[in-house]
Amino acid sequence: MTPENAVSGKSFAKTYFPSTRLAVSGLFLLNGTFAGAWAPKIPEFASRLDLSESGLGLMIMCFGIGSLVLMPIAGILIAHFGTTRTVKGATILFLTTMLLLSIAPTIPVGAVAIFFFGGLMGAMDVSMNGNAVEVEKSMRRAIMSSCHAFWSLGAFIGASTGGFLIETMGVMGHALLLTGLGIVALVVIWPFVLHDAPHPSEERQKVRLPMTLLPWLIGIMALFSMVPEGAILDWGALYMRDELGASLALSGFAFGAFSLTMAVMRFAGDHVRDRFGAVKTLRFCTVMAIIGMVIAGQAPNAYVAMVGFALCGIGISNMVPIAFSAAGNLPGFAQGVALSVATVMGYSGSLFAPSVIGFIAEHTGFAIIFTLLPVLFIVVLLLSRHAIHADVREHH
């Protein structure tokens, strides 16, 4: 009895948690931690460079431009070298950027630092999403939602520890600790990343953008799912503090509540998707996100807003992973092409929209913006049937 049980336990681990899955999950966690750690650094970065609100908005745009420049380049590198070598190269370079952001003494240097921070985060993102699609194919089961859960968990860890660490260790101490831990994590992960061949069939297709509508429609789904996510990330705390009278500590929980429910739901997401299919899952999530966002926008106080943001986290949690899986599995398209269209469109939403929202909110306030953002989710609902492609693995 016992040896058999031991064997079945071993095969369970091998079936559900092969080292390749753990490795790509680790990359998502690492990327998310650095993204989250940036949020508490923003006030110090702005005061060191003497930036106004609109100046900071323009800096956030440099972050976005970096992503839009380097993400497609990552797509081309995946075609030539495969996801493995691309993700490893991007990660090594990305780990240096936190130090660069922490020492930037002038606005031009700050702009360059934030350009590469955004760009290399994006390049790492495209290639680790590509690697996750390869792992999904090798395992014949959905893992994308749980990979994104590790990203959310990393963002939660980075955001919730950052302020405390900056206070106790200083800006450079925080950056050095983060970079050191990042390097150690990468050394551990390195040998286990799924090795995939280059995608030579994609090289010719890679350079030109797809001419048919479907990848762009899935890109719109990703974009409209991620604009509200970016809005909560960058402006949720400000809305809670300025318009709902929350304390500084409490206002930080706008993103905290959102990240936490998002991470929990993403860990459940693959199982739910395998059980109910991507289309039903996406529709349920989108309706939850609409309800949560309207509650947050109409909240009479900070606690009700937190509930709204938490519900929104449940909703948005699996919208983006489903869109990415659908793009990565589109029949008749090179994986890198459709996936980079969806990732670039999606991330450009979460990168550029916040600066636009900041400019609008100066005149309207945030309550009305959070109340109107669900219009974007309604568009996702109308396009939701295209999520069927996320389930394509079942038919191999």
The average pLDDT across 71-75 equals 87
Statement: residue 7 has pLDDT above 50: no
Q: What is the pLDDT of residues 87-136, one digit of tens each?
A: 999 999 999 999 999 999 999 999 999 999 999 999 999 899 889 988 98
Position 335 scores a pLDDT of 62
Statement: residue 361 has pLDDT above 90: no
- Banded pLDDT at 231 (limits 50, 70, 90): confident
Position 203 scores a pLDDT of 47
pTM of the complete model: 0.78
Q: How far apart are CA 128 and CA 277, in angstroms?
A: 23
Q: What is the pLDDT of residues 315-343, one digit of tens each?
A: 999 898 899 888 888 877 766 678 878 88
Q: What is the pLDDT of residues 274-317, one digit of tens each?
A: 889 999 999 999 999 999 999 999 999 989 999 999 999 999 99
- Mean pLDDT highest for which of 36-40, 50-54, 215-219, 240-244? 215-219
Tell me how many degrees the CA angle 64-292-231 measures, rounded to the nearest 5: 15
Q: What is the pLDDT of residues 157-205, one digit of tens each?
A: 887 787 778 878 988 999 999 999 999 999 999 999 988 877 655 444 4
CB 194 within 8 A of CB 134: yes
Statement: residue 1 has pLDDT above 50: no
